[in-house]
Amino acid sequence: MSDEPDQGAGEPRLGPKAAEDEAMLAGNDARQARRGLTLRAMLPNAITAAALCSGLTGVRFAISGDWNLAIYAVVLAGVLDGIDGRIARMLNAQSRFGAEMDSLADSLSFGMAPALIIYLWALQDLPRIGWFASLAFAICCALRLARFNAQIDTDEQPHKSAGFLTGVPAPVGAGLTFLPFYLWTATGEEIFRNPVYVAIWVAVIAFMMISNIATLSWGSIRPRRNVRLELIAAIGLVFAALLLEPWWALTGICALYLALMPYGLVKYGRIKRQRREASA
């Protein structure tokens, strides 16, 4: 899952630098736009809207105390967010509108919604510090997405050019924020609901979202050919675990991601060193 909006090759500028009066369509495209949108163009944006509704519905479940459903709703939003961009590329339906809508939806589904859910679940027992931690998470998510939009037109992006991301993506950050809840539900231990520990954890994840550390992306993960069958089997087992033991499975996924972060730093450092030697 990634929070970066997708862009098409040869598209006009997609970020906030694009002016409202910028010429976007010409010729046949302009005539097609006057006739109306096609279903092909609407489908990715509809999926983004569904992800937004799912994330915000998680807040509704949290208000009523249905914690499991609240977490499921945000996880579903993450799944939908992961496929809308890929469907847009498959259908060649990328647009500036879709890119901006994706960023706004991510800010609400993976910034505001997790912050409110985690506050209602544990942090309201620590009213001032807990609310500040929730605010920090929501603000850092918005800052991360704003930073990405601001860099859309930037040619020099060392992390992206090497196949890495800058900081923890918003959907991943939301999933990591819920790690205390996964452990609390799986074990029943009240220590995982301790508001002090939860506030510290939320603040750490918020910092990781806006940090400049290189993190792994799907493009940077390239397993060797001789393990592809084993990898397919492992993915199938993970899916089965999500159905049978969802909280332990989500805990394991979070632990694996955190364990791979040092590997990503080492790998990016190696690429950076090779580039520096090549330029010298």
Q: Sketch out the chain's domains with CATH numbers.
A: 31-279 (1.20.120.1760)
Statement: residue 9 has pLDDT above 50:
no
Mean pLDDT over the full length of the chain? 81
Q: Would you state the pLDDT for residue 219?
A: 65
Residue identified by tokens 């029943």 is 188
Enter the pTM of the model: 0.79
Note whether 272 and 162 are within 8 A (CB). yes
26 — pLDDT class (breaks 50, 70, 90): very low
Count of residues making up the chain = 280
The residues near 16 (Cβ < 8 Å, ≥ 6 apart) are: 149, 150
Q: Would you state the pLDDT for residue 220?
A: 61
Q: What is the DSSP string of 96-132?
A: HHHHHHHHHHHHIIIIIHHHHHHHHHTGGGSHHHHHH
Collapsing DSSP to helix, strand or coil, 201 comes out as: helix
Region label for 194, one of left (φ > 0), alpha (ψ between -120 and 50) or beta (otherwise):
beta
Q: What is the pLDDT of residues 130-176, one digit of tens each?
A: 999 999 999 999 999 888 877 766 655 656 666 778 889 999 999 99
Q: Identify the weakest region by mean pLDDT among 67-71, 87-91, 133-137, 240-244.
A: 87-91
